[in-house]
């Protein structure tokens, strides 16, 4: 199939939209009428620009409220259509897209509506053009694609076909039966693929604000495309997305997201995927960017958590702190990607490394999904660990884990010292706080490139507003990445984004076997204080023994229990440079993240930040 995108999907001027679409690799472009009207050049100029970029203008759209109109509206509309046909010739396109009527003047007489469509198709035929008719999900009388198909059959004209839009179809709960059993390939004028989260709301508002790229929502777009492929469809798949985040994002970044979604869609509907996703085995390391003495507070926190420097890099100002199977890299090297990250964001997590069983295939997959590679300067005999750009300015490294050697056995030299440790064993999950413009992109990044499962979004209450959260998880369950977003300026994710000047990793959670021993070892100065009222509540909620409740309270440990009896103990550290750590203990098959306690954490962090601000003002 061929790939296209409607200009309404992207932000910016019409030339910027065309350039972004071409740079992302799209073959076609739909011209949304508003973009053409706002443009200060001629339609012929648009055609020349598109041709110079290697783009085919596949359609002019949309034309509204035509079929079933009384006079004098009908005659006015027909004259207007003739003018649009002239524009199409200047643009060099032959597809004219119409939407079903929403006007209060519209007639419900299907024979009259079909007659109008026939007349328009006859006008188009004389011009060598084709008309695509689409059912808007909020159309006055034609809202389902089956009804649009009924009108097209009644009109019975070779220059009239149906425009299939997955949002309008599935927002109405339509099935694929009509497409599968009745609609023939020669009558499909254009296919537009859009996804959306499942929401119960007014369908017009739903359409205007919450559409997204396939794979970013919950609609059965994969099944739709599979149905088309089974019928032998090989024309354009085009994006027509109305989304507030897209309109406030870089057109180049969103165009690349759109192309990735079509690559993913093709992969999901191919009987033999060309590049199956290699297994992601675990988090290999987390890397922090620091400089000079700026990381002393972070180092103090990590030492308090029982980490110690176990290795130093052979040729760079880079150290490795370990505990259990947790690897934390602190990078002070001036000639490095970490230094560039520090310049932009200060002390921060600059990279996450994922262990894979097939590095070659992972890199091929990254290239297929249009992800540029990055590489640090490696000295003789050192590993050149490949990476791609992740969310925000962070990197994701790929480390092939095979045999008995690990990355630090090659690039690092052991440091003598005591083992220490608080019994932390592995990285349980890593949380990202992202801007609203990165939220959909972040989940789809992990879904498409790594074949992670993406949980439905859930709302978590911060004292300053709602936080929207969804988790990406590897197929083996070893890598879990909660992704948090809020539009409330003072909510936890936004405070982090403002401090670090962009989306990034805010939370690292470590698993342990004895959380009480770990809490005793770290000391109360590093642990986030939890209010007394919380313990009164959970004592009653879970019927906890008084002795256990007192132990939880004394160490500021939070608790949750699922319906199966699995239990979850966890505590948080205070923030350092906007980043915080969590220590967790799971038992009885508990696999969640203590979401019931999220509002307690948000409030406690807000209180700590307010106290810190007060101290800073006094100083």
Provide the annotated binding site.
Answer: 134, 165, 192, 240
* 62 preceded by a cis bond (ω within 30 of 0): yes
What residues form DSSP beta bridges with 3?
237
Specify the 3-state DSSP secondary structure of 176: coil
Half-sphere exposure for 302 (CA within 13 Å, toward CB): 25
Specify whether the CB–CB gap between 376 and 366 falls below 8 A: no
The residue written with tokens 């992990």 in the block is: 446
Q: What distance in Å separates the CA atoms of residue 147 and residue 494, rounded to the nearest whole number?
A: 46
* 191 preceded by a cis bond (ω within 30 of 0): no
Half-sphere exposure for 565 (CA within 13 Å, toward CB): 1
- CB contact set of 240 (below 8 Å; sequence gap of 6+): 6, 8, 9, 30, 61, 165, 192, 194, 211
Q: How would you classify the pairing of strands 28-32 and 2-6?
A: parallel
Q: Which two tokens stand for residue 439?
A: 């939220």
Specify the 3-state DSSP secondary structure of 592: coil
What beta strand segments (E) does 266-368 contain?
280-289, 308-313, 318-323, 326-331, 348-356
Nearest to 531 by CA among 618, 605, 448, 443: 605
Binding residue positions for a divalent metal cation = 134, 165, 192, 240
Q: How would you classify the pairing of strands 188-192 and 386-389?
A: unpaired
The 3-state secondary structure of 416-462 reads CCCCCCCCEEEEEEEEEECCCCCHHHHHHHHHHHHCCEECCCEEEEE
Q: What distance in Å separates the CA atoms of residue 217 and residue 254, rounded to the nearest whole number?
A: 16
Specify whether the CB–CB gap between 174 and 145 falls below 8 A: yes
Q: What distance in Å separates the CA atoms of residue 36 and residue 566, rounded to the nearest whole number?
A: 59
């Amino acid at each position: 199939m061929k790939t296209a995108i409607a200009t309404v999907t992207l932000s910016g001027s019409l030339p910027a939209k065309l350039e972004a679409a071409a740079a992302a690799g799209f073959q076609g472009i739909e011209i949304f009428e508003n973009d053409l009207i706002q443009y200060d050049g001629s339609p012929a100029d648009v055609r020349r620009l598109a041709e110079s970029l290697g783009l085919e203008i596949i359609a002019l759209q949309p034309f509204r409220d035509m079929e079933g109109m009384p006079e004098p509206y009908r005659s006015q509309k027909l004259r207007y259509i003739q003018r649009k046909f002239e524009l199409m010739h200047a643009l060099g396109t032959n597809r004219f897209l119409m939407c079903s009527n929403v006007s209060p003047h519209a007639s419900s007489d299907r024979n009259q509506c079909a007659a109008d469509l026939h007349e328009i198709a006859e006008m188009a035929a004389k011009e060598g053009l084709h008309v695509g008719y689409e059912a808007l999900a909020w159309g006055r009388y034609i809202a389902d694609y089956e009804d649009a198909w009924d009108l097209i059959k009644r009109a019975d004209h070779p220059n009239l076909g149906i425009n299939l839009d997955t949002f309008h179809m599935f927002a109405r709960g339509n099935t694929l039966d009509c497409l599968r059993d009745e609609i023939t390939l020669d009558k499909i004028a254009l296919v537009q693929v859009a996804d959306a989260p499942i929401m119960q709301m007014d369908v017009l508002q739903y359409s205007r604000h919450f559409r997204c790229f396939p794979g970013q929502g919950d609609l059965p777009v994969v099944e739709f495309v599979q149905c088309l492929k089974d019928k032998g469809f090989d024309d354009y798949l085009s994006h027509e997305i109305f989304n507030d985040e897209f309109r406030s994002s870089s057109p180049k970044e969103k165009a690349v997201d759109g192309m990735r979604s079509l690559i993913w869609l093709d992969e999901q509907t191919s009987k033999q995927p060309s590049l199956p996703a290699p297994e992601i085995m675990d988090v290999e390391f987390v890397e922090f960017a620091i400089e000079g003495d700026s990381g002393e507070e972070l180092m103090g926190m990590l030492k308090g958590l029982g980490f110690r420097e176990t290795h130093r890099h052979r040729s760079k100002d880079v150290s490795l702190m370990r505990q259990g199977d947790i690897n934390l890299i602190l990078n002070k090297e001036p000639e490095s990607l970490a230094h560039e990250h520090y310049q932009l964001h200060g002390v921060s997590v600059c990279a996450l490394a994922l262990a894979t069983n097939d590095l070659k295939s992972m890199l091929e997959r990254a290239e297929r999904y249009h992800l540029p590679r990055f590489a640090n300067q490696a000295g003789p005999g050192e590993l050149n660990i490949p990476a791609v750009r992740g969310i925000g300015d962070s990197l994701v490294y790929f480390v092939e884990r095979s045999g008995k050697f690990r990355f630090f056995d090659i690039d690092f030299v052991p440091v003598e010292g005591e083992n220490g440790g608080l019994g932390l064993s592995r990285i349980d999950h890593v949380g990202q706080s992202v801007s609203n413009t990165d939220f959909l992109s972040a989940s789809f990044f992990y879904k498409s490139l790594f074949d992670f499962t993406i949980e439905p979004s859930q709302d978590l209450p911060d004292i300053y507003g709602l936080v929207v959260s969804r988790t990406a998880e590897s197929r083996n369950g070893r890598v879990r990445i909660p992704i948090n977003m809020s539009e409330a300026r003072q909510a936890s994710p936004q405070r982090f984004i403002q401090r670090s000047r962009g989306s990034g990793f805010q939370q690292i959670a470590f698993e342990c076997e004895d959380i009480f021993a770990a809490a005793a070892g770290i000391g109360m100065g590093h642990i986030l204080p939890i209010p007394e009222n919380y313990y009164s509540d959970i004592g009653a909620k879970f019927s906890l023994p008084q002795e256990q409740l007192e132990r939880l309270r004394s160490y500021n440990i939070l608790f949750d229990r699922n319906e199966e009896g699995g239990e979850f103990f966890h505590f948080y550290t205070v923030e350092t440079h906007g980043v915080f750590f969590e220590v967790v203990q799971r038992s009885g098959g508990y696999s969640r993240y203590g979401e019931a306690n999220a509002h307690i954490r948000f409030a406690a962090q807000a209180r700590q930040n307010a106290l810190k601000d007060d101290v800073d003002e006094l100083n």
